[in-house]
Amino acid sequence: MTEKPNIAILGASGYTGAELVRLIATHGGMHIAALSADRKAGQQMAEVFPHLRHLTLPTLQTIEEIDFSRIDLVFCALPHGLSQAIVKELPKNVKIVDLGADFRLRDPKAYEFWYNRPHDAPEIQPEAVYGLTEFYREDIRDARLVAGTGCNAATVQFALRPLISANVIDLDNIICDLKNGISGAGRSLKENMLFAERSEDVTGYSYGGKHRHLGEFDQEFSLLAGRKVEIVFTPNLVPVNRGIYATCHLKGDADAIHQALTKAYKDEPFIEVLPLGNLPAMSDIQGSNFCHLGVVAERTSGRAIVVSTLDNLCKGSSGQALQNANLMLDFPEEQGLMLAPIFP
Amino acid sequence: MTEKPNIAILGASGYTGAELVRLIATHGGMHIAALSADRKAGQQMAEVFPHLRHLTLPTLQTIEEIDFSRIDLVFCALPHGLSQAIVKELPKNVKIVDLGADFRLRDPKAYEFWYNRPHDAPEIQPEAVYGLTEFYREDIRDARLVAGTGCNAATVQFALRPLISANVIDLDNIICDLKNGISGAGRSLKENMLFAERSEDVTGYSYGGKHRHLGEFDQEFSLLAGRKVEIVFTPNLVPVNRGIYATCHLKGDADAIHQALTKAYKDEPFIEVLPLGNLPAMSDIQGSNFCHLGVVAERTSGRAIVVSTLDNLCKGSSGQALQNANLMLDFPEEQGLMLAPIFP
Amino acid sequence: MTEKPNIAILGASGYTGAELVRLIATHGGMHIAALSADRKAGQQMAEVFPHLRHLTLPTLQTIEEIDFSRIDLVFCALPHGLSQAIVKELPKNVKIVDLGADFRLRDPKAYEFWYNRPHDAPEIQPEAVYGLTEFYREDIRDARLVAGTGCNAATVQFALRPLISANVIDLDNIICDLKNGISGAGRSLKENMLFAERSEDVTGYSYGGKHRHLGEFDQEFSLLAGRKVEIVFTPNLVPVNRGIYATCHLKGDADAIHQALTKAYKDEPFIEVLPLGNLPAMSDIQGSNFCHLGVVAERTSGRAIVVSTLDNLCKGSSGQALQNANLMLDFPEEQGLMLAPIFP
Amino acid sequence: MTEKPNIAILGASGYTGAELVRLIATHGGMHIAALSADRKAGQQMAEVFPHLRHLTLPTLQTIEEIDFSRIDLVFCALPHGLSQAIVKELPKNVKIVDLGADFRLRDPKAYEFWYNRPHDAPEIQPEAVYGLTEFYREDIRDARLVAGTGCNAATVQFALRPLISANVIDLDNIICDLKNGISGAGRSLKENMLFAERSEDVTGYSYGGKHRHLGEFDQEFSLLAGRKVEIVFTPNLVPVNRGIYATCHLKGDADAIHQALTKAYKDEPFIEVLPLGNLPAMSDIQGSNFCHLGVVAERTSGRAIVVSTLDNLCKGSSGQALQNANLMLDFPEEQGLMLAPIFP
C-alpha cells in the first residue's frame, strides 16, 4: 500500500479552508497533515468550525510552524496579497494550489493595476497555470503552481469560452449580470456583511468596471479571441449563503450557442447543459462541484441569454482546487467531488 | 365636518389587499366600508391577517353582498382576469382603482395576446387611465377608472421614461435584469413558492420575452418614443419578501442620463435620484412608497447602467393605488404615504 | 402655534437610532435638532442610513458638539456603559430617555454584578424610572430620566407581570425560551453576526443564567412578588431581522392566566391578548409597537404556556422610548406609534 | 463480484425521497431500481429534482408498475396513512424501511388516537421495529419492517433516553421547546408554508399536547421508564430549510446528565456530545447524519438544559432510514453517511 500524499491547508479558518476539509474528508486518498490559521493558531479545528468536529484533524498552527519538507501539496486559502511572498519561499518539491488572486493574472502589470499593489513574486508568476480545469487540464496536470480562478470568473467563463471559441457571439456586446451569495465575501468583519444588513436585501456593487475579476475576464477572453474583449459585468449581493447565478445577455443565435455549449461539455463530468429553453436554479448546485448552464432565445431576433450557476465555495473555489490537486497528484479527476447538491 | 369617503377593497385577503389596509390605516381621511374575499367571506380580517387585529374593520363579504351605492371608491385587488366583468357592473358614480392587469393595455388585442383570453369589457377600456402617477397625474385626477401598472413595469419605467423623452439612450439596446422579491407572486398556492423551494435560491423565469409585463413596456415605451421599442427583460426570483431591483444596461452617456433623471424627478416626493456613481439597495425602500434610482457609467465608453428599486407591494402596487386614489378624491397626493422604509 | 420640542438622538448611527428617526418622522410633533455618532461625525444621515434620505435631518456630530441648552429631550441610544457618564453631565432641564442598560438596575451593586463594571453615576440612579410604560406610566410622566428596558425583558414582562400580580402561577417554575431576531445584536462587528454565520442557523446563547437581562427579571419580578423570583431564561438566535418570540412554560390554570392577561391589558392600545388557545406569530408585529400575547393550556393539568411577541427595535426599544417621551412631553401616548405591522 | 441489492423508493418526488437518492448516490453499494411518484409518474427525476440531473436514475412510475419480485429493499417515503395498505401487499422477501408514521406506534389504538384513523394493517404492526438505530440496532438488523421515527421524536430521544435509563432526571418535569426548519413540512401545498409567510417569521404550532409525535414520546419514554411519562413539547417554525434545535429543560444534575450522555454515546459514530457548558448550533449538522448534544447547568441548583440538534431530512429521516437499511442489508452502518455537514 502506498502512502497517502500529505496535504497542508494555509488559511484553514476561512470558509474555503473549511470547504476543502469537508471535501477531502470524503476523498479518501489524501492525508491532511497541517492546517494553518495565524490568529487562531493553537486552536482545534472543532473550535473554529464545530461542524467538522467528527473529524480527526491537526491542531491549527502558524505557517512558520509547518514542516513543509514532509508536505506534498499545499492549498493556499489565504487573503489576497499574502500568497505571493509565502509561495516563493516554499521548497521546490511542494506542489501548490492557490485559491486566491495572487497568481491569476499572467502580467504583473495587470496584477498591479487591478490589485493596487506590486506583485511580490513576479519571478515565479510564469510558472503559474490558470486553474480553470476544463480548459487547462493538461497544463494543470504537469504544473507545480496552479492559480485558482475567481468564483465569478469561473461562472462566466463556463458560459462564454465555448462561444468565443466557436465564434457564435458578438464580442462587443457581452453583458453579464450576476447574483452572488454572501459567503463569497469570506469570514472577515465588514458592517455590510452583517446578517441584518444583507438579509432581505439586494444590492449591486463594483458596477462600472471596478470589480477585480475583470482582470481575469479581460486576460482570458482576449487571449481566446485573439483580440481585445471587454465584457460588462454587474455583480449583485443576494441573501443566500452559497451560489452564483450569472445571466449573460448576448448577441448570437440561441441554437448555435446551445450547440457550442453542448459540444464543448459533452464529456465533462461537472458541467451540465440543460435542454434549450430551460433555466437552471441556484439551488440545483449548492454544496456540489457542478455547474449548470441554460440557454434561452430572446424574442428579439439575434439575441440570446446564457445562464451559468455554480457554488462559489465549491466549484468556484475549493472544489475546483481539489479537482486540480487530483490532476496534479494523479488521482481520478472526480475523486471526492461527485457529492450531489443539497436540496432543499 | 365633511364625511370621509367610503372605500371598498375587493380581494382583501391577498397581500396587496392587506397592504392597502395597512396604508389606509395611517391615512386618516378614508373610511374602509367594505372588504371582499370570496372564499373567506364571513371571516374577520384579523383571522386572515392577524397583523391587522388592532384595527376595527368590516367583516369580509362576497362582492355580491356589497352595497356599492354607498361606496365612493373601489380598489380592485383581484386575481388577473376577474376585474373586467366586475368593473363594468359597478354604478357609474363609483370610482375605481384596479391593481390588476385587466385594464393596463390600451389595445384589447394586446390584452388578448399577452393574457391568452379575450377582454371582457372592451367598451370601458377607453375610459381607463394608465396609473403611473408621476407621468399621468392630471389624467388620473379626472379619471373614473385607473389601471394600476405592473410592479415590474413601474420599476423599469421610472428608470427609462425620462431617458426616452430626453432622447439620451439607444432605444434598440435596452437590457433590464430584475431581481424580484417573492411577495410579487401573491398568496396563491404553487409548489415553487414554498419556503423550502425559494429560500437559498435564485432562479430566472419568463426569460426570452415571455413575461406579461412586456405588454406594458411595449405599449408605453413605443408610445413615448413614437416608434416601436422592445426591451430585453429578464426577471429573477430572489429570497426576499418585498422589493424589485432593476439593473438597466443602456447605451448612452452617464452624465446625460443622470441629468435627465434628476431633472425629471426634482419635484417628485417619492422618487429619489442618488448622486452619480451611487447604487441604491433594496433594503432602502422596503415598506415604503419610495423609488430610488442610481446611475453608474460603464468602463466602456458610451455605456451606462441605471438601477431602479422599489417595494413591489407598496410603490409597485398598493402604494401607487393609494397615491392615485388621493388624486381622484382630492386628497394631498402624499397623504398616508410618507412612511419611512423599514431597516433593518 | 407653540414650537415643537427639540430632540437630540445620541448614537444615531445604530439600529435603534435609525428606528427612532423613522418613528419621529411620522410623529409630526417633535423636531430632531441634533444627531450624534462619534465615529461618523460629519456625515449625513443619508450616507449612514440611505433609507432615510427623503428626510431633512441635521448632520451627524460628536456629542461634545451638541448645544444641549436648546434641547428638550435626549434619546441615548449608545452602547452599554457610555450613558452614565454622559447623562450626569447633561443640563438639568433636559429630559432623558436612555435606551441602553445603564440605568435599568435600581441597585448599583446589581449593575456591577451583571455588567462587570462599577456604576459611573450612582448618584443619579435613584432618579431613573424603569421604562416599561404600561406598568410605570405615571412615574414616567413626571420623570426626568427614564431607563428603557431590555428588549427580552419587555417581552417576558408583558407575559408574566399580570400573572405574578394576580397570583395565578407558581413562581418557582417559570421557564422562558426566547427566539430572537438578529438586529438585537446591533450594528457592531462580530464574526458570529455575519450573514453567512446566522443565515440558516439557530443557536442558543447565554444559557444557564448568564444573560444580563436576568438582572432586570430578578429585580422586577422579586419586587412585584414581594419575594425572590428567579426565572429560567434561554435565548436563541433565529435568522429573522426583527422580533422576539417568548415561549413561557408555566404552572398555573390556563383560564385564570388568560383572564388575568385580558383584564390587565383591556385598555392598553399596544397589547393584544389573543383568544384562549391561539398562538401569535412574530410576523404579526414586525415594524410596529404592538405586543401580541397568546395562552394555551398544556395537556398536563395545571400547566400552561404563554407566548409573547414584539419587535425588539420598536416596542422592545425605540418604540417604547418614544412612547415614554410622549408621556414626558405631554403628547398623546400613541402619537407616532399606531403604524400597522408590515406583512409580508 | 456480488450484485448490488436492488432498491425501490416509493414517494420519490418528496423531499425525503430526494434526500435518499442523494445519500445512496455516494453510498456506492446499492442500486436504485425503481422510483415511484404517483402524480408525477412518467417524468424523469431530473425534471422533478434538477439537482439530481447528473445521476442516471429510473423513470418515475406508479407503485403498481413496480415489479417487486426483483426488489430487495423498499424505502416508503409516502404521505402518512398510505404505507399501511401498501406494505401489507408487498412480497414477504422484500425488506421495508418506512419513513412515515404508519408503523411507529406499537399499539394500533394509540395510532388511531393520534392519527384520527384506524390502522389499516394491525396484523403486521407487531413485526415493525422502531427505527431509532442507536437504541434498537440489533432488532433492526434482523427486521423485515422498520418504522422510521418522527424527526422531532429522534431529536428529543437522543437527548433524553440515556437520562431516563440512568435515572438522572425528574420524569415529571421535562419541557422540550423545539425550533424546526421548514422542510419538515414536506412539499405539499399549504398557504402557511409559502416563502412570504415563513420568511422573517417564528411561530409556534401544535402547542398544548396536540402534536402527533407525542404518541412516540409517550410510548418510548414510558416503556423505558417503566411508568407513564408525559413530556411538554412545544415546536416552533423558524425560517431555515433543514434542522431541528431542541432545548430540553430538565430537573437533574448537569454533571450527572453530561456523564450519562457521554457514556451512552462514546462509541456512536453519529452522536457528538460537546464538552459540558457548550451549546451546539443548527448550522453544525445541516446536510449530515450527525446529532450534536450540549449540556448546560442552570443557575438554579438542580436544573439543567440539554440541547439536541440534527438535520430533520437526514438523521431525522432519510439518513436514519439508510443507516437502518445498511444494518438490514449487512453493509457497514456508516456507509454513505459520513458526509460532513455543509457550512456555511
Asked whether the beta carbons of D315 and D154 are under 8 A apart, the reply is yes
Hey, is the C-beta of D275 within 8 angstroms of any chain A C-beta? no
Cell (9 digits) for C221 = 419580578
CA nearest neighbour of B276 among C58, A208, C40, C41? A208
Kindly identify which residue of chain D lies nearest to residue C279, measuring between CA atoms: D204
Three-class secondary structure of residue B129 per DSSP: strand
Q: Do D305 and C245 touch (CB under 8 A)?
A: no
Q: Helices in chain C by DSSP H: which ranges?
A: 15-27, 45-48, 83-87, 108-115, 133-141, 151-165, 195-198, 213-225, 254-265, 319-328
- Note the pLDDT of residue D70: 96
Q: Do B280 and A209 touch (CB under 8 A)?
A: no
Is B291 among the catalytic positions? no
- Note the pLDDT of residue A2: 66
Phi-psi region of A163 (alpha: psi -120 to 50; beta: other; left: phi over 0): alpha
Cell (9 digits) for A94 = 511542494
- Note the pLDDT of residue C2: 66
List the single best residue of A195, A197, A202, A237 to mutate versus C (max C Cβ within 10 A). A195
CB contacts, 8 Å: B16 with chain D: none
Q: What is the mean pLDDT of residues A199-217?
A: 96
Would strands A244-251 and A303-310 be described as parallel, antiparallel, or unpaired? antiparallel
> Does A334 fall in a domain?
no
Q: Do B207 and A296 touch (CB under 8 A)?
A: yes
Residue B1 scores a pLDDT above 60 = no
* Residue A84 to residue A94: CA distance in whole angstroms: 15
* Residue B307 to residue B247: CA distance in whole angstroms: 5
Residue D337 scores a pLDDT above 60 = yes
* Residue D105 to residue C194: CA distance in whole angstroms: 43
Q: What is the mean pLDDT of residues D302-325?
A: 98
Which candidate in C76, C151, C248, C291 is catalytic?
Answer: C151
Based on the structure, what is the number of domains in chain C? 2
> Does A344 fall in a domain?
no
Residues D156 and D304 in one domain: yes
> Does D343 fall in a domain?
no
**Chain B residues 211-230 within an 8 A CB cutoff of chain D:** none
Percent of chain A with pLDDT strictly greater than 90 = 98
C95-154 residue pLDDT tens = 999 999 999 999 999 999 999 999 999 999 999 999 999 999 999 999 999 999 999 999
CB contacts, 8 Å: D344 with chain A: 15, 183, 241-242
CB contacts, 8 Å: C299 with chain D: 208-210, 214, 230
Three-class secondary structure of residue A74 per DSSP: strand
Strand partners, B7: B32, B73
Distance from CA of B343 to the nearest CA of C (A): 7
Residues D137 and D258 in one domain: no
Asked whether the beta carbons of C139 and C120 are under 8 A apart, the reply is no
CB pairs under 8 A between A and B: 146
Q: Helices in chain B by DSSP H: which ranges?
A: 15-27, 45-48, 83-87, 108-115, 133-142, 151-165, 195-198, 213-225, 254-264, 319-328
Chains that touch B (3 or more CB pairs under 8 A): A, C, D
Other Cβ atoms closer than 10 A to D38: 15
Expressed as residue numbers, the domain containing C76 is: 6-149+315-328
D113-124 residue pLDDT tens = 999 999 999 999
D32-62 residue pLDDT tens = 999 999 999 999 999 999 999 999 999 999 9
Q: What is the mean pLDDT of residues D168-190?
A: 97
Percent of chain C with pLDDT strictly greater than 90 = 98
* Residue C186 to residue D74: CA distance in whole angstroms: 51
CB contacts, 8 Å: A205 with chain B: 279
Asked whether the beta carbons of B310 and B285 are under 8 A apart, the reply is yes
DSSP code of C227?
S
Residue C235, judged by CB atoms within 10 A of its CB (0-12, 13-18, 19+), counts as buried
Residues C61 and C165 in one domain: no
Residues B138 and B274 in one domain: no
Hey, is the C-beta of C332 within 8 angstroms of any chain D C-beta? no
Q: Which amino acid is at A342?
A: I
pTM: 0.98
Q: What is the mean pLDDT of residues B91-107?
A: 97
Kindly identify which residue of chain A lies nearest to residue C192, measuring between CA atoms: A194
Asked whether the beta carbons of B251 and A251 are under 8 A apart, the reply is no
C-alpha B252: how far from chain center: 27
Residue B217 scores a pLDDT above 60 = yes
User: In which element (H, E) is residue A319 found?
Assistant: helix A319-328
* Mean pLDDT for chain B overall: 97
Hey, is the C-beta of B340 within 8 angstroms of any chain D C-beta? no
Distance from CA of B70 to the nearest CA of A (A): 41
Q: Do A195 and C198 touch (CB under 8 A)?
A: yes
Residues C174 and C106 in one domain: no
B288-319 residue pLDDT tens = 999 999 999 999 889 999 999 999 999 999 99
CB contacts, 8 Å: D194 with chain B: 182, 187, 189, 193-195
Q: What is the mean pLDDT of residues A209-214?
A: 94
Going by C-beta distance under 8 Å and a sequence separation of 6 or more, which residues neighbour residue C291? C154, C155, C158, C270, C271, C272, C285, C308, C309, C310, C315
- Note the pLDDT of residue B2: 66
Distance from CA of C15 to the nearest CA of B (A): 7
CB contacts, 8 Å: B342 with chain C: 22, 51, 286-287, 342
- Note the pLDDT of residue D1: 47
CATH code: domain of residue D106: 3.40.50.720
Percent of chain D with pLDDT strictly greater than 90 = 98
**Chain D residues 235-254 within an 8 A CB cutoff of chain A:** 241-242
Q: Where are the beta strands (DSSP E) in chain B?
A: 6-10, 31-36, 60-61, 73-76, 95-98, 129-130, 145-147, 175-180, 203-204, 232-237, 244-251, 271-273, 291-297, 303-310
> Does B340 fall in a domain?
no
Distance from CA of D9 to the nearest CA of C (A): 28
Q: Do B200 and D241 touch (CB under 8 A)?
A: yes
> Does A340 fall in a domain?
no
Cell (9 digits) for B106 = 390600451
List the single best residue of C200, C214, C249, C258 to mutate versus D (max D Cβ within 10 A). C200
B16-65 residue pLDDT tens = 999 999 999 999 999 999 999 999 999 999 999 999 999 999 999 999 99
Residues B14 and B124 in one domain: yes
Q: What are phi and psi of B163, to 5 degrees?
A: -75, -35
Q: Do C287 and B242 touch (CB under 8 A)?
A: no
Residues B23 and B141 in one domain: yes
* Residue B100 to residue B128: CA distance in whole angstroms: 12
CA angle D290, D291, D292 (to 5 degrees): 120
Distance from CA of B282 to the nearest CA of D (A): 16
Using CB atoms, which residue from D18, D21, D272 is nearest to A54?
D272
Using CB atoms, which residue from D199, D236, D305 is nearest to C179?
D236
Asked whether the beta carbons of D236 and C307 are under 8 A apart, the reply is no
Cell (9 digits) for B116 = 391568452
> Does A333 fall in a domain?
no
Asked whether the beta carbons of D4 and D70 are under 8 A apart, the reply is no
Q: Do A196 and B282 touch (CB under 8 A)?
A: no
Angle at which helices D213-225 and D151-165 pack, to 10 degrees? Answer: 20
Hey, is the C-beta of D193 within 8 angstroms of any chain A C-beta? no
> Does B342 fall in a domain?
no
Distance from CA of C48 to the nearest CA of A (A): 11
Residues B266 and B159 in one domain: yes
Q: How confident is the model at residue A95 (pLDDT cuts 50, 70, 90)?
A: very high
Would strands C244-251 and C303-310 be described as parallel, antiparallel, or unpaired? antiparallel
Task: With a cut of 70, list the residues of chain C below it in pLDDT.
Answer: 1-2
CB contacts, 8 Å: C284 with chain B: 50-51, 53
* Residue B36 to residue B60: CA distance in whole angstroms: 5
Residues C235 and C301 in one domain: yes
* Mean pLDDT for chain A overall: 97
Phi-psi region of D208 (alpha: psi -120 to 50; beta: other; left: phi over 0): left
Hey, is the C-beta of B109 within 8 angstroms of any chain D C-beta? no
* Residue A189 to residue A185: CA distance in whole angstroms: 10
* Residue C326 to residue C310: CA distance in whole angstroms: 20
Q: What is the mean pLDDT of residues D119-141?
A: 97
Three-class secondary structure of residue C219 per DSSP: helix
User: In which element (H, E) is residue D95 found?
Assistant: strand D95-98
CB contacts, 8 Å: A243 with chain C: none
Which candidate in A151, A176, A291, A314 is catalytic?
Answer: A151
Hey, is the C-beta of A39 within 8 angstroms of any chain C C-beta? no
* Residue B169 to residue B154: CA distance in whole angstroms: 19
CA nearest neighbour of B278 among B267, B268, B292? B292
> Does C75 fall in a domain?
yes
Residues C171 and C271 in one domain: yes
Distance from CA of A61 to the nearest CA of C (A): 20
CB contacts, 8 Å: D184 with chain B: none
C-alpha A24: how far from chain center: 16
Cell (9 digits) for A170 = 458578438
CATH code: domain of residue A240: 3.30.360.10
Asked whether the beta carbons of B177 and B149 are under 8 A apart, the reply is no
Hey, is the C-beta of C330 within 8 angstroms of any chain B C-beta? no
Asked whether the beta carbons of B286 and B243 are under 8 A apart, the reply is yes
Asked whether the beta carbons of A261 and A248 are under 8 A apart, the reply is no
The answer to whether the Cα torsion of D99, D102, D107, D112 is positive or negative is: positive
Residues A92 and A126 in one domain: yes
Residues A120 and A15 in one domain: yes
- Contacts of D118-127 with C-beta under 8 Å, sequence gap 24+, read D119/D84, D120/D81, D120/D84, D120/D85, D120/D88, D121/D84, D121/D85, D121/D87, D121/D88, D123/D88, D124/D87, D124/D88
